[in-house]
Amino acid sequence: MTAPAARHTAAPALAPRLLGGRLKRSQRRAGLLFILPLVVLELLLLVLPIIQTVYYSFTRWDGLTSKWIGLENYQRLFADTTFWRVVLNNVLLLLAIPFAILIPLAVAFLLNEHVRGWRFFRSVYFLPTAISWVVIGMVAVRVFASQGILNGLFDAVHLPVHLNMLGAELTAMLAVIITFIWSVFGTNTIIFITGMATLDREIYDAAKVDGAGSWATFWRITIPMLMRFIQFAFIVTLITAFTALFSLIFVMTGGGPGYGTTTLEFYVYQQAFSVGVFGYGAAIGVVLSLIVFAISLGQTRIFRSRLD
């Protein structure tokens, strides 16, 4: 009597498990069906072009026909003095990234302390994010040109200074860097404000009770607890500096004077669409992608070691 009774009680207990397993499988299949169009689009619009770019970087391609030439484009690239001049411009942009991180971080800390007018300034600082690169470039030309706003301010205060920042290589690159830092200022500020909103206020209260000042609180509490947000802001800023400034440079300087403001991204455009050597341009694009990947991987390991 006990054995048949055990079988009857076990059967109803297995039913919910079987039903739950079938439900999970159906949900999994439904989820796969929903993401399938996205995966197909990702393959067609992202993965396939990357594979094509890598392939064409080993060819002599004029846009219509291609001929396999192996590593010839890369050998030519690394022997090209103009390429190394352009890499130097990217290094200067890379050196500007700490300023594009630290300035918004300091401002976000002040706004998080709810200084007078913090709501107004938070909105104002975010405005550059809503403006396109073309508009930012046009405004920057008006500011830094020989007859621009900057020299107008110098004349207004009777300073014997007249700068044509867009007329020389070094000053033109400095103008691009200043504009770049300003353009990402709003995005990074919002990232850090969001991160600070997640921090436990009791830690700050305890620090104040222990006599810690604003600087000590910022350096010893805020920065360590915001490392993940700083890492995210660094990656976003790095990608912007290396792959998103084409419109800005095109409008501000056109890559000049000379190659003074030509970045690797802009150099790809010049070689592929101005000169017509698409295979060589593809090789530059591949090198640019590897550089961004290597820097991102390196900083990720550095931040991970600090977090651990």
Does residue 143 sit within a domain?
yes
Does residue 131 sit within a domain?
yes
**Residue 23 burial (C-beta neighbours within 10 Å; 0-12, 13-18, 19+):** exposed
Instruction: For the chain, 308 residues long, give each residue's pLDDT as a single digit of tens.
Output: 455 554 455 455 555 555 556 667 777 777 788 888 888 887 888 888 889 899 999 999 877 888 999 999 999 999 999 999 999 999 999 999 999 999 999 888 888 777 777 677 777 777 777 788 999 999 999 999 888 888 888 888 888 888 889 988 899 999 999 999 999 998 999 899 888 888 877 887 787 777 777 777 778 888 888 888 998 999 999 999 998 899 999 999 999 888 999 999 999 999 988 888 999 999 999 999 999 889 888 887 877 766 55
Pull the structure tokens for residue 290: 């590897």
Total number of domains constituting the chain: 1
Is the CA virtual torsion 78, 80, 84, 86 positive or negative? negative
Report the C-alpha gap between 268 and 277 in whole angstroms.
Answer: 10
* Domain span including residue 102: 74-307
Does residue 62 sit within a domain?
no
pLDDT, position 150? 87
Pull the structure tokens for residue 145: 């040109």
CATH of the domain at 194: 1.10.3720.10
Does residue 18 sit within a domain?
no
Does residue 37 sit within a domain?
no
Query: Among 220, 232, 270, which Cα is nearest to 249's?
Result: 270
Does residue 59 sit within a domain?
no
In terms of pTM, does the model score above 0.85? no
pLDDT, position 251? 93
pLDDT, position 12? 55
> How many angstroms from the chain centroid is the CA of residue 264?
15
Report the C-alpha gap between 55 and 47 in whole angstroms.
Answer: 12
Does residue 35 sit within a domain?
no
Does residue 266 sit within a domain?
yes
Report the C-alpha gap between 184 and 125 in whole angstroms.
Answer: 10
pLDDT, position 24? 73
SS3 assignment for the chain: CHHHHHHHHHHHHHHHHHHHHHHHHHHHHHHHHHHHHHHHHHHHHHHHHHHHHHHHCCEEECCCCEEECCCHHHHHHHCCHHHHHHHHHHHHHHHHHHHHHHHHHHHHHHHHCCCCCHHHHHHHHHHHHHCCHHHHHHHHHHHHCCCCHHHHHHHHCCCCCCCCHHHCHHHHHHHHHHHHHHHHHHHHHHHHHHHHHCCCHHHHHHHHHCCCCHHHHHHHHHHHHCHHHHHHHHHHHHHHHHHCCHHHHHHHCCCCCCCCCCCHHHHHHHHHHHHCCHHHHHHHHHHHHHHHHHHHHHHHHHHHHHHC
Query: Among 295, 244, 292, 235, which Cα is nearest to 265's?
Result: 244
Place of tokens 């020389």: 168
Q: Are 133 and 245 in contact (CB under 8 A)?
A: yes
